[in-house]
Amino acid sequence: MSSLSKSSSNDNMDEDEDIFYEYRENHQTKTIGKRELQQREQKGAWALLAALEKAKEAQYVEVASLITSLETLLPREGQQGTDENGEEGARQPVQCSSRSNKLPRFSVEDTKSLTGDDVVALLEATRSGRLIEIHTIRALIEAATVVFRSRHPDRLVELPPLSKLQQVQVVGDLHGSLNDLATVLALMQSRSGEPCASNRILFNGDLADRGEHGVEVICIVCALKLAYPEFVFVNRGNHEDLALAIAYGLAAEITRKYGAGCRKVLRPTLDAFFRALPLATVIERDALIVHAGPPPPSSDGSGLADLLLRDHPILTGCGLSRTVVDTGCKNDNSSSNNKLQKEEKVSKQIIESMLWSDPLVDECEGTLHDFGDVENDISGTGSNRWVPNISRGAGYKYDASVVRNLLNREGLSRMVRSHEPVRDGCVRYVIDNSSYNNSSCPKHKNKPMELFTVFSASRYPYKEGFNQGAVLELKANGEHSVLRYATEDDEPLEVAMTIASSSVTEENSRESRNATREYACAIDSDDIRHTLLEALRYNRTAIRNSLRLASVKHQTIPFETVVDIVIETLNLGNEGNHLKQIGAKTTLAKAMGIQCPDTELPPEHVDVDRCFEVLLANPTDRATRPQRSLRSYDSYPWLFSVFELLDTNQDGFLSRSEWDECVRTINSKLPEGLGIAADRTWEVLDTEGYGKITMAEWERLGHAIESDIARLD
């Protein structure tokens, strides 16, 4: 696949002289210099890592969908949550086993007089390792829920245009990173002071999950809203979802810190809070801020406010908060139910499009795809412009034209989203608007538009990643600034603040982006290999069969075939195109240990046995990364999620009665002649013979299943 050109044969060449390699791509022979290859490798490593992380996320989405379906079959005590008016049933007694409930308690009445000093005290106490009282958690979240319902009942926040001295600071995903939240607030305080009319703060969703301090982050953000209700805002993200709280770890975090009883108590409180959050914020004549993407293109030309003001069962009903919704789990075929399912599908499309979607971006080139406007395509659903988000398993992929059409229709000039980590915390794409002709919005006619992605959890997830965090400051007249940083969760607060303040980098709308920016952490081959094997963990049979089929007559196969097998197995969709570029292919080859030694380029062919050895290996914990306490939970998310659902009294065990009720319910939904044998399955599960199934026994089931799959392979 590669060969060294003649110019590289001189070992004593001048340092300024480059080395050139030849390689094959898209059936063409191309030439690349070593320096350019190294730059493409850096971009390719991030593109490959991002694609693999999305493939892993798609597995979690399947878990969330499983939970949604199982909850329909297996309703649990206290599942109903709150109604559309925020009314709850009788309060349940709080019984928890937290280790150090030393922080002062707040009642709902106390939260009405919260100040900025109270928020600082709460932040400093949690950073020092003290747990928040369960009563305080409940009071803060419930009080904030009331404020969100009263101030933003239409799920849309509308802010006035920015004047010369005003700004809106957009904080992206925090994912339970307490130190990043502390850094963000300290930077804001030092630069702009506390929240006020000229300095508004907007948290753009995903406060918890895949971090160790989701509970604390949620409480502090709620405290901020209560202390500054007119100047602090929160958009809903895809992780503001009870099913994802189980699949991604927030439920396990609550259990670990406070006990199973408190998790049960907080369930309806969190459900009501998630459902009360707005879906989007609009700065008049300026910007749309939404967690992931625009709403679905409307065939009738409905505006953003019209779409959100409609009655949507999933958004306004009494059910549980859901961002991944299974609308086909009902067996009732009545006309009224069919109508409800149609309405739910509309709700599902709105929820997933705004909370789960991603732009069509070439990660290696750093460009946003623009397929142009399709004549007479009012809905904006032209080919490739609005397609299912296969790599995530939920939401949609959209190109620049979808954003352009929405912004022009709403009279806006820029859209800000979060939802996915970007290498340096924030990225900006310019959208050409020169061909758009609409006299209804003359202010933005022929002016370029902007799409931002801002992500605030540095080194995501669990401080094992490689990205910086960032805050985006939106200013008047289309100007902006970007603050970047990287922190560690185990650093003392004073050290973290000092490091963040001294290392933060700023980019504003008048500066060009620095191409040599220092990132949070370098990506090496071991990191890529570990992430690749984690993504392939539950796809080993497919990998094995594909490799066998590709090597029926030969001991070696083209490396291009290996890339295609990975793309197809992980169902990467558009993300897979990035893996076919030279930078990403070189990174993948190095991770597999099969690059050409003289050029470091991927080989033209690779030994099949080597592919089996690498791609079917078990992922091992990276010694250079801090180990987190929920490793086994992360390894078998679907298994632990089912355990959470079956444990109806939330005592941390499965009793025989719980198991029998589960089996009866499931068997009632199965065709006649099929069913689960309750006695036999209980004997298999209760390995210790104590009459109840512990989490350890349940986890061993996961290891047994994986071993059985390996033997079948």
Q: What is the pLDDT of residue 267?
A: 85
pLDDT digits (tens, 9 = 90+) for 292-336: 999 887 666 667 877 776 555 555 444 557 777 554 444 444 455
Cβ atoms 229, 220 nearer than 8 A: no
Q: If you average pLDDT over every residue of the chain, what do you get? A: 76
Residue by residue, DSSP assigns 606-668 as EEHHHHHHHHTSPP---TTSPPPTTHHHHHSHHHHHHHHHH-TT-SSSEEHHHHHHHHHHHHH
Cβ atoms 217, 210 nearer than 8 A: no
Q: What's the CA gap between 455 and 468, in Å, rounded?
A: 8
Higher pLDDT among residues 566 and 87, named by residue: 566
Q: What is the pLDDT of residue 194?
A: 92
374-401 burial, b at 16+ Cβ within 10 Å, e below that, comes to: eeebeebbbeebbeebbbbbbbbbbbbb
Q: What pLDDT band is residue 712 in, cutting at 50, 70 and 90?
A: very low
Q: What is the pLDDT of residue 440?
A: 47
Burial of 555 (0-12, 13-18, 19+ CB in 10 A): exposed
Q: What is the pLDDT of residue 26?
A: 59
pLDDT digits (tens, 9 = 90+) for 326-359: 544 444 444 555 555 566 677 778 888 999 999 9
How far, in Å, are 22, 602, 684 from residue 25 at the CA level?
10, 11, 53
pLDDT at 175 over 90: yes
Q: What's the CA gap between 664 and 149, in Å, rounded?
A: 39
pTM recorded for the entire structure: 0.80
Instruction: Report DSSP state, residue 521.
Output: S
What's the mean pLDDT in 624-644?
A: 52
Q: What pLDDT band is residue 290 in, cutting at 50, 70 and 90?
A: very high
Q: What pLDDT band is residue 196 in, cutting at 50, 70 and 90?
A: very high
Percent of the chain topping pLDDT 90 = 25
**E-assigned strand segments in 59-123:** none
pLDDT digits (tens, 9 = 90+) for 254-277: 888 888 777 778 888 999 999 999
Q: What pLDDT band is residue 75 in, cutting at 50, 70 and 90?
A: low
Q: What is the pLDDT of residue 412?
A: 94
Q: What is the pLDDT of residue 511?
A: 52
Give whichever of 55-64, 185-194, 222-231, 627-636 has the largest mean pLDDT: 222-231
Give whichever of 175-189, 222-236, 452-466, 612-626 has the largest mean pLDDT: 222-236
Cβ atoms 644, 651 nearer than 8 A: no
The region of weakest confidence among 221-235, 494-508, 673-687 is 494-508
Query: Residue 581: what residue type?
Result: Q
Q: Which of 394, 324, 402 is nearest to 360 (CA)?
A: 402
- Separation of CA 60 from chain center: 10
Q: At 359, give phi and psi (nearest 5°).
A: -75, 155
What's the mean pLDDT in 414-441?
A: 82
Higher pLDDT among residues 479 and 384, named by residue: 479
Q: What is the pLDDT of residue 276?
A: 93
What's the mean pLDDT in 647-665?
A: 81
Residues paired with 156 in a beta bridge: 280
Q: What is the pLDDT of residue 79?
A: 45
Q: What's the CA gap between 257 and 252, in Å, rounded?
A: 9
Q: What pLDDT band is residue 129 in, cutting at 50, 70 and 90?
A: confident
How far, in Å, are 5, 10, 123, 592, 615 from residue 23 at the CA level?
11, 20, 54, 19, 24
Q: What pLDDT band is residue 281 in, cutting at 50, 70 and 90?
A: very high
Q: What is the pLDDT of residue 223?
A: 95
Higher pLDDT among residues 270 and 663, named by residue: 270
Q: Which of 18, 21, 17, 16 is nearest to 5 (CA)?
A: 21
pLDDT at 395 over 70: yes
Contacts of 696 (CB under 8 A, 6+ apart): none
pLDDT at 13 over 50: no
Cβ atoms 342, 335 nearer than 8 A: no
Q: What's the CA gap between 529 and 45, in Å, rounded?
A: 11
Give whichever of 16-25, 81-90, 405-414, 482-491 has the largest mean pLDDT: 405-414
pLDDT at 447 over 60: yes
pLDDT digits (tens, 9 = 90+) for 488-543: 765 555 555 555 555 556 666 655 444 334 555 678 788 888 888 888 877 777 88
Q: At 424, give phi and psi (nearest 5°).
A: -110, 30
Q: Which of 455, 332, 422, 348 is nearest to 64 (CA)?
A: 348
Q: Which of 121, 689, 702, 452 is nearest to 710 (CA)?
A: 702
How far, in Å, are 79, 198, 248, 319 from residue 83 at the CA level?
12, 36, 25, 8
Cβ atoms 532, 501 nearer than 8 A: no
Higher pLDDT among residues 80 and 466, named by residue: 466
pLDDT at 215 over 80: yes
Q: What is the pLDDT of residue 191?
A: 85
Higher pLDDT among residues 425 and 371, named by residue: 425
